[in-house]
Amino acid sequence: MPDTMTEQRAATAEAHRAAGWKPVSLQGWGRSSTAPCLAARPERMRELLAALDPPEGRSLLPHGGGRSYGDQALNTGGAALLTGRLDRILAFEAESGEIVTEPGVTFADLLEVFLPRGWLAPTSPGTAFATIGGAVANDVHGKNHHRVGSFGDHVLWLDLLLPDGRILRVSDDEDPALFRATIGGMGLTGIITAICFRMQPVPSNALRVRSRRIPDLNAFLAGFAEAAEASWSVGWIDALASGGALGRGILEIAEPSDSGLPAPKPKARSFPVEAPGWLLNRFSVRAFNALYWRRVPAAGREEFQHYGKFLYPLDTIHHWNRMYGRRGFHQFQCVLPFGPGETALRKLLETISAAGDASFLAVLKVMGRPGRGLLSFALPGYSLALDIPARPGVRGLFATLERIARDAGGRIYLAKDSLLSAEGFWEMYPEAQRFMEIRGSIDPEGRLSSDMAKRLALA
């Protein structure tokens, strides 16, 4: 009876539409998987509350800027609550730097509004298009982690909308367990409706950035040790270099500058089309990486950079993720504790270099204190991050990398991940059990879910 089915389908679509739901296909930033679901995009609290009961008893997941890489913000066959239109700054204290925002406010908003007044987000991921709600849910970190910790460390309280419609203010004093579950909680404890955190004062809109070439991994680790007191530090590694050059790269160290730069004119370009799959191969990427290395003169370089340029180098090219072609890419990021981590770091780089699978620069970073969240990523140690195109064999490579990280007591960053195994996750995140207990108490029917939650047995 095809006619009845068509009619039924039309009636269902009509009912979804009337309730503000639209069928969409969401992707993570890595574009390696696509999730069909229903999505609502509330513009105010009243609409958000109305969207708490998606049709047909579907599960629900908040979705912010769409900048996490894998399946953490996807909910195949379920419902997604897009928070991007909830973008109001609700309060700001010019004495303390305390700010309250709705979840859809982005780091770009904060930079635009507050940098001219001498305030900067306490820490920031590598893209300004991430939302503050997402920054809490992924407990993100930046190039100043070794000094200031993760984003969650700067949060004073959160307003959290639970699946049953209650809004709770959670902090270290009120519902501290739920607070710790929500920081880094991947959106699985509710919808964050307001975030109070502290901005950091900066003397100008610019940094003094010193860059120098680093010949190999040992020199890199020594360079980071010397730069322990630097405000900002990050290393770019040529992940295809091998042998004596293994781990060669560029170390960037930056300090706030007292004198500012003229405000840059916004000139965003866009990666216009999806690149053909063959564009990135071991030869083209090797050539790019070598050029990148030589870009910095042998004697090093010192320059002034606007915070926007230093913190968000790729944001001037919109849709840069299309560079990896139709199949997309995966990002691998892990942190390895100091000590045993050094050998593991070498092993990771050897494995990646030997696989020879086109990978641009890897990012090496020293991390400081552990995060506050039950599922926070940060550990004191070395963090390594790199993109790998989604090609046949990539799963095997990731499994090997996961094993190396696991054996060294490291962990993989959920914000970037799309391939971690459930067993690996439960070993790397010792507080996952506690997280599940709290999740069970606020969401006994399991109304919040995600593709990642199902993959990692957190559903």
CA 345/CA 362 separation, integer angstroms? 12
Distance CA 364, CA 420 (A): 20
Q: How many angstroms separate the first and last alpha carbons of the chain?
A: 36
State the CB neighbour count (10 A cutoff) for residue 264.
12
Instruction: Using CA atoms of 48, 53, 59, 65 in order, give the dihedral in degrees to the nearest 10.
Output: -10
d(CA 414, CA 418): 8
Check if the beta carbon of residue 414 is closer than 8 Å to that of residue 452. yes
Q: What is the spatial distance between Cα 86 and Cα 337, in angstroms, rounded to a whole number?
A: 38
**Residue 55 or 264 having the CB closest to other proteins:** 55
CB of 390 to other proteins, least distance (A): 28
Tell me if 368 sits within 8 A of 145, measured CB to CB. Answer: yes
Which lies closer to other proteins via its Cβ, residue 105 or residue 335? 105
Smallest separation, CB 74 to other proteins (Å):
19
CB 183, min distance to other proteins, A:
23
Would you say 34 or 284 has its CB closer to other proteins?
34
Pairing between strand 79-82 and 34-40? parallel
User: What are the start-end ranges of the H helices in 58-207?
Assistant: 107-114, 132-137, 145-148, 176-182
Residue 83 CB, shortest distance to other proteins, in Å, is 13
Closest approach of Cβ 109 to other proteins, in Å?
8
Instruction: Output 165 or 244, the one with its CB closest to other proteins.
Output: 165
State the pairing for strand pair 79-82/60-63.
Answer: parallel
Q: How far is the CB of 93 from other proteins (least distance, A)?
A: 10
How many CB atoms neighbour CB 10 within 10 A?
A: 10
Nearer to other proteins, 17 or 294 (CB): 17
Packing angle, helices 340-355 and 394-407, rounded to 10 = 170
Specify the DSSP element, H or E, that contains 397.
Answer: helix 394-407
Binding site for other proteins (CB under 8 A): 16-22, 40-47, 85, 88-92, 102, 113
Nearer Cβ to other proteins, position 20 or 337? 20
Shortest gap between Cβ of 40 and other proteins (angstroms)? 8
Question: Are the beta carbons of 222 and 215 closer than 8 angstroms?
Answer: no
Question: Minimum Å distance from CB 315 to other proteins?
Answer: 17
Comparing CB distances to other proteins, the nearer of 44 and 294 is 44
* Nearer Cβ to other proteins (110/375): 110
